[in-house]
Structure 1
Amino acid sequence: MTEFAIAPPSAVRNDSLVTTGLDCLAETEAFNAAFEAKAGSVPDRSRGVDAATLATLRRNRVGGEAPPVRLAEAHDRQVEVDGVRVGLRVFVPPVVEGAYLHIHGGAWMFGSADGQDEQLWDLARTARLAVLSVDYRLAPEHPYPAALDDCERAALWLVRNAAVEFGTDRLLIGGESAGAHLSLTSLLRLRDRHAITGAFRAAHLTFGPYDLSMTPSQRLFGSRRLVSNTDSLRGTYDAFVPGRTPEQRRDPDVSPLYADLAGMPAARFVVGTDDPLRDDSLFMAARWRAAGLPVELEVVAGAMHGFTLFPLTITERELRRQTEFLSGAGRSLRP
């Protein structure tokens, strides 16, 4: 069968898909070039991740980002759902008008609930949200469905306890990369396993992978080392869902692109043109719109995977737009 013809991800100045970032594309492209030039110092995970590589990546962070700053304003707690405990890192601002369940990224193998304290505390104060980041189990020690099981339980706990714990029933969910995937699959599990829809009013989903059998942009991205590429994605999926064929990876519990979207909340999808996961957000947003659901799609010129972790103009703007979206809980969106 002939490969579906589609251009690989790239920062095209006249790309009709781009919604923002063209005015600072030169800065973004210069950062990408510098990042790629030093990528040789970051361990290659294209052929799987052995114990030594895994330890290095977890210690140094996947893309060489600055070490996380841990804030005293956050506190860690364990919550129990149906006899099983899940860890949460919680930020409670002086005024609470909603609760946001955040699920961190890191290819299901890296990252932690305490890795974005500064961003999450800024979001909590500005948007007046109690923010809860899920400390889910990581692959390859704990492959699928461990991470999703943990996030499902955290979401269920928040639905059951937000009113008492935080004085609100206005619930939001979201995350980056693997965290966006886990956010969406958690919403689907709430609907399918617990008959819960409408509890979460909006989802903010940033450069997530929604088809683990690989969309065209994943397959065609090639070897550029901009945090993630074609081969590293294959290695990541092998660690997260080992032993599964591409067809088995299209199970909606693994690849939400193939799910029935009935009952899903308003959503905002964000992705860059230099991200191998570009098509995942484009296709998922199209499916959202086709289902008649409120949706917003932001395509950032030149942005690579994980760009919101780096000191860029597009990052500053995107974090501001995220806050605006979550503050409004998606109420202004239309199908």
Structure 2
Amino acid sequence: MSPPNPLSIDGRVFDPAEISDESRGFIASLQRLASELPKWYEIGAAEYRRLRAEGGTVLPGPTLLPSASDLSVPSREPNRTIPCRVLKPQHGQPAKAVFMHIHGGGWCLSDEKSHDQMLQEIADTHGVVCLSVGYRLAPENPFPAGPHDCFDVAEWLVENAKSVFQAPLAFVGGDSAGAHLSTLVALHLLRHADARFSQFRLKGLILLYGCFSLSWTPGVYSFARRVPSLVLDLEIMDAFRNAFLPGWSQATLENPDVSPLYADLASLRGKLPPALFTCGTEDYLLDDTLFMSMRWLAAGGGVDVKIVPGAPHGFISFPRATVGSGTAEGRQAMDDFLQKHL
């Protein structure tokens, strides 16, 4: 007898007829806004980062919370530290775990202060310490600088989370490029030559509309033919890739250290942590979520998949109450996953 399939996705979520009028209106408003604003590669990463910090881009600007604190984590490089942002539960109870968060932004934009509100909500709801990583950004610091910073913070947390936060590292996750980097972190730990890290087991990964193949999945090109620019388009994605991987070759794009979709996951059977994969149907990276979640499942990893009809790339960054955004559904999927695996 075949084992039961733990994953079930209702195919109706992919039907355009399932997109609500509110979501269609939200998408239309994003398209109008995207058409009026400069692309990041037109004005340069530094200027676009300034605009995003001021709320002058398609995605909402950050709200910095006084409850957050800054922490410097040692880097593998002498005399350099990695800036991190810490949000702790405000209810006074001891923390149950640490969630290492890695922000998105195409490996070029945003920073560790971009998700204060969401992370404080997670901290308070689930009793976890959230630590967001301020990894180095391209084009100033191309691959492998950003991944190396994330690896260094993960290793530091494996060794120090209990003494610093009185709770162990349990979850790693992020959105878009942050989901890509989170996956690389998990694989880095599992394949580490040092048993302190290779034998460490995460409780879960939270992978929100991640990019898992930098050679681009088929859906990227089909979306480019039919969907106007929203938060992402093919030109934006190509510019991100060129900044992160200058002078790339096809062999580079298919290297599992760059594109985890190509990783030998089967060799890690029995070791992969459970993973939540979330994406909207109006996202250039939908195929990435579908492909990577199936490979994770085939290699024996526990998988939860949440597909949100009508949601565009970046939808988790909007306020939970934003009508038509899909944010509430995405946040609820995160809450359910954290609750299940804590």
* TM tier, smaller: 0.7 to 0.9
State the partner residue of 2:172.
173
Structure 2 residue corresponding to 1:271, chosen from 279, 287, 298: 279
Counterparts of residues 151-166 of structure 1 (less than 5 Å)? 151-166=150-165
2:328 maps to 316
Cα distance in structure 2, aligned partners of 1:20 and 1:210: 24
Contact residue 159 and residue 199 of structure 1 kept, 8 A: no
User: What is the rounded CA distance, in whole Å, between the counterparts of 1:160 and 1:146 in structure 2?
Assistant: 21
RMSD: 2.3
What count of residue pairs does the alignment treat as equivalent? 313
Distance 1:298 1:280, change over 3 A: same
**Aligned equivalents of 1:112, 1:292: Cα separation in 2:** 33
Q: Which residue of 2 aligns with 1:80?
A: 74
Greater Cα offset, 253-262 or 32-41: 32-41
Q: Percent identity?
A: 36
C-alpha separation between the residues in 2 aligned to 1:144 and 1:282? 25
Once the 2 structures are TM-superposed, how far is the Cα of residue 231 of structure 1 from its aligned partner? 2.0
1:42 aligns with 2:50: no
What is the aligned partner in structure 2 of residue 284 from structure 1? Answer: 292
Q: 1:188 to 1:124 in 2, by over 3 A?
A: same
* Aligned residue number for residue 325 of structure 1: 337
**Cα pair distance change 1:20/1:150, threshold 3 Å:** farther
Distance 2:24 2:57 in 1: 16
Q: What's the counterpart of residue 137 of structure 2?
A: 138
The whole-number CA distance in structure 2 between the counterparts of 1:219 and 1:106 is 20
Which residue is 1:224 aligned to? 228
Displacement over 6 Å in runs of 4+: 19-24
Q: Give the Cα–Cα distance (whole angstroms) in 2 for the partners of residues 197 and 319 of structure 1.
A: 30
Deviations 1:55-102 (A, max 9, x none): 332122284233211111100011225555221100111321111000
In 1, the alpha carbon distance for the partners of 2:19 and 2:241 equals 33
SS in 1 for 2:104: coil
SS at match of 2:111: coil
Using the TM superposition, name which of 94-103 and 316-325 deviates more. Answer: 316-325
1:12 corresponding residue in structure 2: none
| Structure 2 segments unaligned to the other structure (5+ residues) | 1-9
**Counterpart mapping for 1:176-255 below 5 A:** 176-193=175-192, 194-195=194-195, 196-222=198-224, 224-255=228-259
On the 8 A contact 1:275/1:304 being kept in 2, the answer is: yes
> Does structure 1 residue 257 correspond to structure 2 residue 261?
yes
Q: Does 1:294 align with 2:289?
A: no
SS at match of 1:221: helix
Q: Residue 197 of structure 1: CA displacement?
A: 4.2
The one-letter code sitting in structure 1 at the alignment partner of 2:141 is H
1:60 aligns with 2:54: no
**What displacement does 1:17 show?**
6.0
Distance 1:117 1:21 in 2: 33
The one-letter code sitting in structure 2 at the alignment partner of 1:220 is S
Given that 1:80 and 1:86 are in contact with CA atoms closer than 8 Å, whether structure 2 keeps it comes out as yes
Equivalent position amino acid for 1:75 in 2 = S
Q: State the Cα distance separating 1:103 from its structure 2 match.
A: 0.3
1:69 lines up with 2:63 in the alignment: yes
Aligned-partner Cα distance in 2 for 1:280–1:255? 11
Deviation at 1:320, TM superposition (A): 2.4
Instruction: Assess, with a 3 A threshold, how the Cα gap between structure 1 residues 185 and 248 changes in structure 2: closer, same or farther.
Output: same
Q: CA deviation at 1:36?
A: 0.4
Q: Which string of whole-angstrom CA distances, capped at 9 and with x for unpartnered residues, describes residues 27-71 of structure 1?
A: 1111101110221222235xxx26x33233212228423321111
Secondary structure, counterpart of 1:87 in structure 2: strand
1:300–1:264 Cα change, 3 Å: same
Partner of 2:5: none
Instruction: Assess, with a 3 A threshold, how the Cα gap between structure 1 residues 148 and 312 changes in structure 2: closer, same or farther.
Output: farther
Of 308, 313, 321, the residue aligned with 1:305 is: 313
With normalisation by structure 1, the TM-score equals 0.87
Partner of 1:118: 117
Higher relative contact order (CA 8 A, sep 6+): 1
Structure 1 CA distance for aligned equivalents of residues 83 and 17 of structure 2: 40
Q: Secondary structure at the match of 1:89?
A: strand
Structure 2 counterparts to residues 24-39 of structure 1, below 5 A: 25-39=20-34
Residues 21 and 220 of structure 1: is their aligned pair in 2 closer, same or farther, counting only changes over 3 Å?
Answer: closer
CA positional deviation for 1:19: 8.2
Kindly tell me: are residues 221 and 22 of structure 1, through their superposed partners in 2, closer, same or farther at Cα, counting changes over 3 Å?
Answer: closer
Q: Secondary structure at the match of 1:247?
A: helix
Q: Is the 8 A contact 1:172 1:329 kept in 2?
A: no
